[in-house]
Each structure stands twice: as C-alpha cells, then as structure tokens.
Chain A
Amino acid sequence: MTLVARDITFGYAGRPALYAGFSLEVAPGERVALSAPSGFGKTTLCRILAGYERPQGGAVTVDGAPLPRRGACPVQLIGQHPESVLDPRMRMEASLAEAGAVPDELLDALGIRDAWLRRFPHELSGGELQRFCIARALAASPRYLVADEISTMLDAVTQAQLWRFIIAAADERGMGIVLVSHSPALTARIATRTVDLAAARAEHAAAGER
C-alpha cells in the first residue's frame, strides 16, 4: 500500500543532478510535506512521483509495482499552474471526461457550477480551473495525491474549503498525500510529516564521503 521512491537520481541535461540516491516512503493516510528552497527540484520530484518524468536511477513503486505505463496512474499530480495542464481548445466538460465519469457529488462539493462546464479554460479564473484539476485527479481514484502548491492562486476562504475537502476525501479513501507549500502555517495545518530535501541531499553527500 505504500508509495516508495527508492534511490532516485535525476538531473536536467547540462546541469548538476538535482538529487542522487533520494528515497521517500509515504504510507496510506499520511500527509507528507516536501520542503526546500526555490529551484531545488520540488516540482520535479512531484513529477517523478506521479510518473511524468522517469528518474535516471532508482524507481517509484506503489505496492511494490512500478507505475503503469498506460491507464490512470495511481499517483495523481495536481500542479501549480492549472492553466497549463488544460487543453485551451477543449471545453471544461471534455477535459473532465478525460478522467472517466466524474460523480456529480464531487463537482458540487468542489463548488463547480454547471455553467462552467461549457466554457473554455481562458473563460475561468485560476482558482476555478484548479477546482477542475482537483475533480479530475480525484475522479481517477488515485491511491496517492501529489499536491504541488495547489492553493497559491486561491483566497484564504477557498483555500480552507478545498483543503478540507481533499483531506476529508483522503481520509475516506485511505489516500496518501504529498504536498508542497511555501506557507509554513498551511504546512503545519495539513502535514503529518515534513521531509527536507536540502537536508536529505546533505545527508546523502555525507554518507557518500564515509
């Protein structure tokens, strides 16, 4: 049942490796916050965990099985820029349908209005688009949710609503969450554990020297 990232090595071409031999384990129901300075590779790690990037070394497994190459991934990513993950030429209902049938209760709970379904992404605000991204990710029945700065474009009231909803859904389904947030207050509210990427890198470097 656990999401395991073992000995992950990754770097972009021509740049020093972001991490070497990084490992992370997330149990179901756990909410793990990743913390590191800007540009350290938090978003890249989120993409690796959700199967968007293949690590150059190591592997990501759920229940001991690698992430599937086809079909819905058991680890779903919700990103920082909802406008960049929605097809600008598809109406919202078509984008939602990519995840299969989305139950109406889910849409109601996220405050998605029927009128929005017929619109194109540019006709909705960032916060409204983010609700669709959350609905789409949850409709795929993921075992783990990776939330990369998902509430930065939201006001405080909406942020509280959406996070309460996600946490409730996670508790109900025994879903684990990996989250990235720049706000210490929000992290303290939500996370059950914090992993410091900078400390992990330093530890690994120290272990390598020994």
Chain B
Amino acid sequence: MVREEKMTHREDARARHEDAAHRARAHHEQTRHEDAQAHHHHTHAPASRHAHGHHLLQVEDLTVAFRMYDADEPYLTARQREARPIERLSISVHAGEIVAVVGASGSGKSLLADAVMGLFEPNATVMGRIWFDGEPMDAAALARVRGRGIALVPQSVASLDPLMKVGAFVRGAACGCGRARREDAARRTRRQRELFARYGLAPEVEDLYPHELSGGMARRVLLCCALMDAPRVIVADEPTPGLDLELAVRAMDDFRAFADAGGGVMLITHDIELALRVADRVAVFRDGTVVEETAVTNFAAPELLEHPFSRALWHALPEHGFAAGAGAGSAYASAGAPSRGGEAL
C-alpha cells in the first residue's frame, strides 16, 4: 500500500485507503497460489512454489509519477505536468528465489528499486500495492523494514561516504547505551570482519577510504553493507559492473546462497548471461513496465520468448550475433560488423 501518505495528507483519503488495504489483503489471501498457474500477473518456475498467500515481496500495479515543469514551454509560464516513468508494474519475489529484472538502460529500473525501498523523491507520487512477507506495506512500513527486512545494494559506488573509512561505514552505528552499546559495537565489528573475509576483502581494507578501492572492491563493500543486518529480501541494483568474471560469478553465487537459505533477491541488471546463470525467473523490463515474466529456461532459444523486446535482447548478446536492433546502428553495421562468430547479423 504505497498510496503515499507523504503526498495525500487528508485523513479521509487515509481512511479509505486503509479500508482498501484490508479488502486487498483478504483478496490476496484467497487467491490460489499454485505452480505455473497465473495469479497476480505471474506464474511460477518449478523451484519457486510458495505457501498459500505468502509472497516474500509482491508488487502490484506500481506507478511512479513525477510532477515537473514542461521543458518545451517558456521558462516563466511553463505549466506543471506529470511524467510516469513506471506505469502499472507488477512483479513478485518468493522465498528462495532470485528474480532478475533485465531491460533497457534508462527505462526506470533504478526507480523500481527506490520504490520498493520506500525511497521517494519529493516531487514523486507513488501508487500501487506492495506486500512484504505477507503484510501490506505503506510508505512508513517500507521505511521501517529498510535495511533490516529489505536491503538495497545500490548501483553507484558514489553511495559510499567519501570521508568515512569503509570498515566504519559498513559497521554503521551501534544501538543502545553503556555496556549494551559496546557489546553491539563489538558484534557489528565481528559481523563486518566476517563479511569482509567471506567476500575476499583483506582485513586492511577496512582502514581504506572509498577512493582507494578498485571498482570491484567497492561493489563488494556495498554488498557487505546490505548483508550487515541479515535482511530477508535483497534488492540488488546492478551489483556486478566492475567485477571481473570470477568475482561476478562469486557475487551471483552469494545471492544464490542467500536465496537458498530462504531469502529473496530482486536482481536488477542488464547482464543477462550472468543473470541466467543464477536466477529462477526473469522479468523483462521496458518503458516502465514488465513486458514479460518468464522462467530462465525459456532464454535457451528466442522462440520460447513471447515479447519482441525479449527476443531483441537475446539477439543482441555478444554470443548470439551482437545485433543492434532494427534501424539503430544499421548504418554502421557494414563497417563495424566483426566477422567472428559466424551468425547472421
């Protein structure tokens, strides 16, 4: 229930929305959640069945709209208009499952991550329904589970504080006071060292500043931050750029291990090869919505994919022809086409 409180302060609207929340929840509990049966706009891969009514993370009809001034009008008289980068998007993550969200850059994938985390821009209106662990969520509830229930692995290494040593950054602030606080601080230090050891970060890395890290090390530090408070769901926004193949596969294996232990992962990426290696289902994202949610096995051949954009993605992979899509790049295809590979271009 993300019918944004921040935006609609009126009490009557609030009451109506709570009533709607109650009804929507009752409806959700009554829906049959069986294998391969389409419900809530998705079907299940064989390995991702779940108990009655219990999705770990469920997003329905999510719309993110921004109020902005019309850029084409004169500066002083421009009217406000609404842009909707995400429109009626539905996606679900079950316990023990990795769902990869793949799609064009600039199509709003990071906005999806922000919406699920309850991070809204001041000029945004967010509508739709989100359940976490069977509970309908509103903006305040999403803010409460942020970092504990749902953790984000952000896209940009700029998310690290440039003036803070990364060890202290990952540990974060200890809770409580007096002795409890010291114990919590010690526990957090242990947890941070354990995570650093698991992700191949040397002990001396905790005394480095972000600008001293390589791209791959920074990504691993971000992953450690997300895992610090043992979340149920990880939303990973492009976690692998900058990692070499071996480390990227290891990062993927870590997500797999996290999912196998009962967590859920929403893996936002454009690296399809890597996503296919670990994910259970793939949601193909385009122009602000999910055009196809399909099992990973369907990516074996383009005929198994339903949407033309899914097929275009398949054909554009370096190992499948590197096709630049209809129209785009065709003028350069003759000059730039590498002849290796042998497939039709």
Given known contacts A161-B325, A164-B329, A152 and B242 CB-to-CB distance under 8 angstroms: yes
Convert B227-253 into 0s and 1s, putting 1 for each residue whose CB lies closer than 8 angstroms to a CB of A: 000000000001011111111100000
Convert B197-238 into 0s and 1s, putting 1 for each residue whose CB lies closer than 8 angstroms to a CB of A: 000000000000000101111000000000000000000001
Tell whether B333 is near chain A: CB-to-CB under 8 Å. yes
The stretch of B39-47, B97-105, B141-149, B178-186 in contact with A is: B97-105
Give the CA-CA distance A96 to B342 in the complex, in Å.
Answer: 38
Q: With a CB–CB cut-off of 8 A, which chain A residues contact B155?
A: 126, 153
CB distance from A183 to the nearest CB of B (A): 7
The stretch of A61-69, A76-84, A199-207 in contact with B is: A76-84
Convert A169-192 into 0s and 1s, putting 1 for each residue whose CB lies closer than 8 angstroms to a CB of B: 001100000000011111011100
Q: With a CB–CB cut-off of 8 A, which chain A residues contact B212?
A: 12
**Cross-chain contact A109 with B332 (CB below 8 angstroms):** yes
Give the CA-CA distance A35 to B62 in the complex, in Å.
Answer: 42
Q: With a CB–CB cut-off of 8 A, which chain A residues contact B156?
A: 81, 83, 126
Tell whether A24 is near chain B: CB-to-CB under 8 Å. no
The main secondary structure of chain A at its interface with chain B is: helix
Convert B29-61 into 0s and 1s, putting 1 for each residue whose CB lies closer than 8 angstroms to a CB of A: 000000000000000000000000000000000
Convert B255-293 into 0s and 1s, putting 1 for each residue whose CB lies closer than 8 angstroms to a CB of A: 000000000000000111100000000000000000000
**Cross-chain contact B270 with A154 (CB below 8 angstroms):** yes
Q: With a CB–CB cut-off of 8 A, which chain B residues contact A164?
A: 322, 324, 329, 332-333, 336-337
Tell whether A165 is near chain B: CB-to-CB under 8 Å. yes
Tell whether A39 is near chain B: CB-to-CB under 8 Å. yes
Tell whether B176 is near chain A: CB-to-CB under 8 Å. no
CB distance from A94 to the nearest CB of B (A): 17
CB nearest neighbor in A for B111: A125
**Cross-chain contact B335 with A38 (CB below 8 angstroms):** no
CB nearest neighbor in B for A39: B214
CB distance from A40 to the nearest CB of B (A): 8
CB distance from A134 to the nearest CB of B (A): 13
Give the CA-CA distance A104 to B319 in the complex, in Å.
Answer: 32
Give the CA-CA distance A115 to B73 in the complex, in Å.
Answer: 12
**Cross-chain contact A149 with B215 (CB below 8 angstroms):** yes
Give the CA-CA distance A127 to B336 in the complex, in Å.
Answer: 21
CB distance from A207 to the nearest CB of B (A): 26
Given known contacts A38-B215, A38-B244, A158-B105, A81 and B157 CB-to-CB distance under 8 angstroms: yes
**Cross-chain contact A160 with B247 (CB below 8 angstroms):** no
Q: Which of A12, A125, A149, A184 contacts B105 (CB 8 A)?
A: A125
**Cross-chain contact A155 with B104 (CB below 8 angstroms):** yes
CB nearest neighbor in A for B105: A127
Which residues of A89-133 are within 8 A (CB) of B? 109, 111, 115, 118, 124-128
Given known contacts A156-B317, A164-B329, A165-B336, A183 and B245 CB-to-CB distance under 8 angstroms: yes
**Cross-chain contact A165 with B247 (CB below 8 angstroms):** no
Q: With a CB–CB cut-off of 8 A, which chain B residues contact A160?
A: 316, 318, 322-325, 329
Give the CA-CA distance A153 to B246 in the complex, in Å.
Answer: 18
Interface residues of A, Cβ cutoff 8 Å to B: 12, 36-39, 43, 80-81, 83-84, 109, 111, 115, 118, 124-128, 149, 152-161, 163-168, 171-172, 182-186, 188-190
13 A-B interface contacts by CB (under 8 A): A38-B216, A38-B217, A39-B214, A83-B156, A115-B71, A128-B105, A153-B155, A155-B103, A160-B318, A165-B329, A168-B336, A182-B244, A189-B318
6 further interface pairs, Cβ-Cβ under 8 Å (given A109-B332, A156-B270, A159-B318): A37-B247, A43-B214, A125-B105, A152-B271, A163-B322, A183-B273
